[in-house]
Structure 1
Amino acid sequence: MDDERLRELYEGCYGRLIGQMFAVCGDLAEAEDVVQEAFVVALTRRRQLGQVDNPEAWLRTIALNIARNRFRRSVRFRQLLRLQPQPVSLPDLSPDRIALVDALRELPLEQRETIALRYVADLSIREIAETLGVAEGTVKARLSRGRQRLAPLVHEFADEPQTEEHRV
């Protein structure tokens, strides 16, 4: 299916699919996520979509399957929470933490992952390299570039001393 036909399909049935999935999910944001994910599937399976007689029905089926899978995962998650002996503590959502997350969103994904693993998960350079499947030098370079880009946005990174592990 070419871009123009896919765009027409999106414009023609997106709203209807949202309405249908809202009835299924009971949550508008969840319905929107499900339908958007169905269109992502359509993008990756253009050839298959181009061969079906009713593309909207095909998308609806994909969206329903996505909604079912999400529902099953949420049920399992709630079951796990009930088994949890103590309340789960949520991360501190102080203004500083929120500012850090906002600043991290400005970084490219590779730098954001590396910075988060180093400063939020407190992993070593070696552990980050193993987790991401990259060389330690790559981790150091990403940390350095990420800190440089974050420095104007988050003062904590600008003032951090460069230890041997942090040097590139």
Structure 2
Amino acid sequence: MTTVALEPALTADEAVGQLYAAHWRRLVRLSILLVHDQGLAEEIVQDAFVALHGRWSRLRAPEAAAAYLRQTVVNRSRSALRHRKVVDRYVASQRLPDVGPDAGAGVEAEARRDAVFAALRGLPRRQREVIALRYYLDLSEADIAETLGISTGAVKSHASRGSAALRERLAEQLEDLR
């Protein structure tokens, strides 16, 4: 992930503005991979930047702001998923009819993308987060460990197991598409 060298004399507006310009798009992509909803992902990232701006004066290490943002986005994405589960249980208890798939879902490229997202969703949470941070944000093992608050050994383990499970699931799902 690109690091932004922040000058110590920057105001919160200026510093967060620079971080926003440098990291917005990648953070949104990360959140999309976790919550599978672009609108929600954009809202999560926007809220993370608002929270950073509000806490800027209390930030001990402004150079770590990008890592703080990544961790905030991951945590808020987790919260959104927990909320979604509660809503889904409520909706299921109300016995609302299922909404069918989009009419354009038959396009092969979209079907492959959907297969990848479905395979990612099927992974355990930690494996999914490590895979998203590693392969979609291209973070190092140390950055992933810092973002998720786990050891680098755990990152390696989750990445290895997640990649193997993802390969297996994708092979099955892509075979079904043929």
Q: Aligning the two structures, in what range does the TM-score lie when normalised by the shorter sequence?
A: 0.3 to 0.5
Greater percentage in helix = 2
TM-score by length of 1: 0.46
Say which one has the larger Rg: 1
TM-score by length of 2: 0.44
Higher relative contact order (Cα pairs below 8 Å, separated by 6+ residues): 2
